[in-house]
Structure 1
Amino acid sequence: MRFSHPTYAVDAAFDETNLLPDAGLVPLLALAERAGLHGLLDERLTVAGRKGVGHDAPAKIVSVIAGMAAGADCIEDLDVLRHGATADVFGGVKAPSTIGSHLRAYTFGHIRQLDAVSWRLLLGLHRCTGLLDALAATGAVTYVDVDDTVKEMHGYAQQGVAFGYSKVKGLNAQVATISTPPVAGVGGGAGHAGVAPVIAAARLRKGNATSSRGTGKIVGEAVAVAKAAGAHTIVVRADSAYYGFDLAAAAAKAKVKFSVTARMNASIRAAIAGIDEDAWTSIEYPQAIWDEDDQRWISDAEVAEVTYTAFTSRKKAEHVRGRLIVRRVKRLNPKTVSAGHRYEQGELFTLWRYHVIFTDVDGDTLEVEAAHRDHAIVEQVIADLKGGPMAHLPSGKFTANAAWLVCAVICHNLLRAAGHVAGGALVRARAATLRARLVAVPARVVRSGRRVRLRLAARWRWGAHWSRFAATAGLNASI
């Protein structure tokens, strides 16, 4: 491959007015329209304020979502929608300064209105694309995963910013996702590809908020969305930061199961000590897993379980009885290990490090333990957000940043729906991959009479996927 040729020179000029840099926005916004985005915004969102701020609120929110899908991670980046022929194709594209003023006019009530739009749009996408069909499949287990992260912020005039549990100054974003693992067909039965994680609910909180704050509300909302999509067997999963009565109570209220990593305390240590040595089952992982505490890869462990009653310091009616599933891994003694090789003397006795799960899920011990480890899928969703629209929280006003988070959630779910209908590896691809292969596709706009035609690159490797996506959105596309 050569960047130049000895017989001619290469010139560049920014003068192509018919170029659409992100042609994938056309089917993406058409899909959002089919799922009811504009109608929901018209019906639910009531932003008032000084002259012009609350005017045409739906168009401003759609501009934010479209800009995020095109790669914008701050208000200034929303100007990407005014490049080339983009503004001519879509119409109603708002300037970044106008959108910034609009978001700063939001109150907490407006954020809740956007939340209502978000989960209703997710169900609308399900109706249009079958995005969540696998939730209702026979034998499918729907997992609601809850986690949070601290988004680093800088400056001194930003509302809600504080040092959180990670010792980072910023704001805390809490996310609840819905997913279903793929299921292979058994005995001639039909399997399914599962549901890649979509975001059912999200909250922006002060930077010093504890992880478990508001657990009951976000779990309740996420479970309600899952049930509305047809889920029948639901398990709420969370890490040790959420170990407490609130999560168990929220699961019981919603009539679903829970699985949470337990924090070590005297009661749990006593329960582990009471496990008979013959009760431990050795397991080997086909793929090694990373051990955060020991900072090493492990490929084998031992698992056992014991019945346990948690939260006994609360009144008797709030005691929760379940299973304590314990995984233990040998803790290597650095004095007897050097460069990965043991000294001849070896260890005098084995030391163990324990990883404990508290759950009321029925089933085989090893299967329940393995299913709980898949809770880490929510961390990938958070990484997608922080590597995309949430790379920055763009305002000094808390409610503007909260609205930005909800728009990022809507954008994530739209991209996930696009990947679902595109098919192939894109069904479970990361958000960045979906942007690169379905959205960031340049096209030349050709107008003929009252018809607009997009001329995309020939031999585009993912042309068939893009065409399926466009057809679902109601567009005519051919390779």
Structure 2
Amino acid sequence: MQTIASRPKVVVTADGRGVVGHAGTRLLTDLADATGLTGGFGDALAVAGRRAGGHDPGRVALDVAVMIADGGRAIADLGVLRAQPELFGLVASDPTAWRALELIDAAALGRLRAARAAAREIAWAQLCETRGALPASTAAGRDVPGLVLDIDATIVITHSEKEHATPTWKRTFGYHPLACYLDNTREALAAILRPGRAGSNTASDHITVLDLALAQIPDPHRHGTDILVRTDAAGHTTAFLHHVRSLREHGLSTCFSVGVPITAPIRDAIGHATAWIDALDTDGEPRDGAQVVELTHLVAAHVLAGYPAGTRLIARRERPHPGAQLDLFDTIEGWRHQVIATDTPIGGGSIQYLEVRHRGHARVEDRIRCGKNTGFGRFPSRVFAINAAWLELALTGQDLLAWTQHLLLDGELARAEPHRLRYQVLHVAARITHGARRTFLRIHASWPWATELATAFARLAALPRPAT
């Protein structure tokens, strides 16, 4: 019989001293200081004569954002930070945090967004100085020039009555936020909280989110840099596409790549297409059983009449995998079809490249899944304005995680999803000791990621700071 080693027996007491948990989360608070985010939030919420229980409302909001990044799902989770003042300083009580969130009206929300943009400019400058450049989005095994913005919506189910929570098109109940992520860095640039009944293809909402996202991009990168805007078929409205095109009049080099519903004229064009060529995988190799073709010259003239000039249609067909849901047209043809519209001109890449470039938009689903695990999968209040503020702080928490990974970490940790990052780095325990007028945070030498964590703190201390 095999002998199973038993765990060592332990005696549990509640009298330990000098031990702290969530030691790696200190990276987030200090990075907020290093990028000017803490001070920016303080200025944004510095309402004359209004302080939340003696606490600076901006600092309270920042602590909530850090708590969300750390995996907190409710205001009560601030207790984890509050219980460790030797590591996180004085953290507001739950009632004080609620009062601070109540101060965030529409005007304050705008100031918080401006503070995030200012901190992002510093973070990007630090990234360019320490790592050489911003990361590039990739498609077909090559870098996509410039910046790639992905817009998508998601359903957040609520299990209690909340202001503006309504039935959704999926026959659930809750909210329907619309968000924009930067594919290059995984940053959560912008999002708006919408009632559950909000339409998937509401052009005005897409325009609002895009404009908020562009306002988050520092001027040196917003002007003179190619900006690709990607959406699924929900973004396929001529009003939105014309807005993307109109941004060129303001000095932005924008173009779009959006999914297209397959209507009868498009099905007719697909039926007449003969110049199919092999599609590509994400690594740039031919994809077995998939083909692409340009439809621009095959569709009836009225189909493209409302689009911005130069819009092109590209179709992809692929043998369906078992269990794929097909419409009648796909069932008859024996292929699964997808169509995209883009205004990238001829010469901006082969149709194979443009099609696989658009398929990279699917990564936004991972961003949103991680976002729901970082704040906006659950809204804490019955009041819509507080939930909108919570959403903005959730975006802030996601940015702090992205900046931490790009500025301070390497290898797998720099690419890890939030759950793994918390489990291996942020939630580590450590001992606090004092000596030579300094405070030491001592991570156990046997922790597998102790060296990476110590290196991250060293890099944080060495980050260039903005001139004051």
Worse overlay, 320-329 or 27-36: 320-329
Deviation at 1:32, TM superposition (A): 1.0
Q: Partner of 2:399 in structure 1?
A: 413
> One-letter code of the match for 2:20?
L
Q: Is the 8 A contact 2:46 2:58 kept in 1?
A: no
Separation of aligned partners in 1, 2:260 and 2:363: 19
Deviation at 1:221, TM superposition (A): 3.1
* Residues 71-120 of structure 1 deviation map (CA, whole Å, 9 limit, x = unaligned): 2111111211123xx21333221112221232134322222222222232
Q: Is the 8 A contact 2:44 2:115 kept in 1?
A: yes
Q: Partner of 2:198 in structure 1?
A: 209
> One-letter code of the match for 1:370?
V
Give the one of 429, 437, 442 matched to 1:442. 429
Matched, 1:62 2:62: yes
Give the one of 104, 107, 125 matched to 2:105. 107
Deviation at 1:176, TM superposition (A): 0.7
Deviation at 1:140, TM superposition (A): 3.0
Give the one of 124, 127, 138 matched to 2:125. 127
Closer, same or farther: CA 475–25 of 1 in aligned 2, 3 Å? farther
Q: Is the 8 A contact 1:134 1:140 kept in 2?
A: no
* Residues 289-334 of structure 1 deviation map (CA, whole Å, 9 limit, x = unaligned): xxxxxxxxx95222101226899599x7865441111012346899
Matched, 1:41 2:41: yes
Deviation at 1:70, TM superposition (A): 2.6
> Root-mean-square deviation (CA), in Å?
3.1
* Residues 1-40 of structure 1 deviation map (CA, whole Å, 9 limit, x = unaligned): 85545xxx52112322421101112232111101001221
SS in 2 for 1:65: helix
Q: Partner of 2:334 in structure 1?
A: 351
Separation of aligned partners in 1, 2:281 and 2:75: 45
Residues 118-267 of structure 1 correspond to what in structure 2 (within 5 A)?
118-130=116-128, 133-134=133-134, 140-156=145-161, 158-180=162-184, 196-213=185-202, 214-226=205-217, 228=219, 230=221, 232-255=225-248, 256-267=254-265
Deviation at 1:378, TM superposition (A): 1.1
Q: Partner of 1:473 in structure 2?
A: 460
Separation of aligned partners in 1, 2:188 and 2:102: 24
Q: Partner of 1:404 in structure 2?
A: 390
Closer, same or farther: CA 229–441 of 1 in aligned 2, 3 Å? farther
Q: Partner of 1:306 in structure 2?
A: 295
Q: Is the 8 A contact 1:19 1:443 kept in 2?
A: yes
* Residues 433-458 of structure 1 deviation map (CA, whole Å, 9 limit, x = unaligned): 22223211111111225311011111
SS in 1 for 2:412: helix
SS in 2 for 1:176: strand
* Residues 225-264 of structure 1 deviation map (CA, whole Å, 9 limit, x = unaligned): 4463526122111001111113312321223110000012
Closer, same or farther: CA 26–135 of 1 in aligned 2, 3 Å? closer
Residues 283-302 of structure 1 correspond to what in structure 2 (within 5 A)?
283=279, 285=281, 300-302=289-291
How many equivalent residue pairs?
429
Q: Is the 8 A contact 2:280 2:356 kept in 1?
A: no
Deviation at 1:202, TM superposition (A): 1.5
> One-letter code of the match for 1:38?
T
Separation of aligned partners in 2, 1:311 and 1:207: 37
Deviation at 1:461, TM superposition (A): 2.1
Closer, same or farther: CA 351–44 of 1 in aligned 2, 3 Å? same
Q: Is the 8 A contact 1:54 1:102 kept in 2?
A: no
Deviation at 1:384, TM superposition (A): 0.6
Closer, same or farther: CA 59–319 of 1 in aligned 2, 3 Å? closer
Q: Is the 8 A contact 1:153 1:171 kept in 2?
A: yes
Identity of aligned residues (%): 28
Worse overlay, 367-376 or 441-450: 441-450
More helix by share: 2
Matched, 1:392 2:397: no
Separation of aligned partners in 2, 1:75 and 1:127: 33
> One-letter code of the match for 2:186?
P
* Residues 321-359 of structure 1 deviation map (CA, whole Å, 9 limit, x = unaligned): 41111012346899xxxxxxxxxxxxx984333200111
> One-letter code of the match for 1:262?
V
Separation of aligned partners in 2, 1:109 and 1:208: 25
Deviation at 1:201, TM superposition (A): 1.2
Closer, same or farther: CA 384–311 of 1 in aligned 2, 3 Å? farther
Deviation at 1:460, TM superposition (A): 2.5
Separation of aligned partners in 2, 1:457 and 1:17: 15
> One-letter code of the match for 1:126?
W
SS in 2 for 1:473: helix
Separation of aligned partners in 1, 2:278 and 2:144: 27
Separation of aligned partners in 1, 2:10 and 2:396: 41
Q: Partner of 2:416 in structure 1?
A: 429
SS in 2 for 1:363: coil
Closer, same or farther: CA 385–318 of 1 in aligned 2, 3 Å? closer
Separation of aligned partners in 2, 1:219 and 1:212: 14
Matched, 1:325 2:323: no
* Residues 258-296 of structure 1 deviation map (CA, whole Å, 9 limit, x = unaligned): 000001223323333342x2x011347589xxxxxxxxx
Separation of aligned partners in 2, 1:103 and 1:427: 31
> One-letter code of the match for 1:171?
Y
Q: What TM-score, normalized to structure 1?
A: 0.81
SS in 2 for 1:201: strand
Give the one of 438, 450, 467 matched to 1:463. 450
Give the one of 348, 367, 370 matched to 1:381. 367
* Residues 413-449 of structure 1 deviation map (CA, whole Å, 9 limit, x = unaligned): 1111111221112222212222223211111111225
Closer, same or farther: CA 331–63 of 1 in aligned 2, 3 Å? closer
Q: Is the 8 A contact 1:111 1:399 kept in 2?
A: no
* Residues 41-79 of structure 1 deviation map (CA, whole Å, 9 limit, x = unaligned): 122224579874695101211220221233211111121
Q: Partner of 1:370 in structure 2?
A: 356
SS in 2 for 1:140: coil
SS in 2 for 1:236: strand
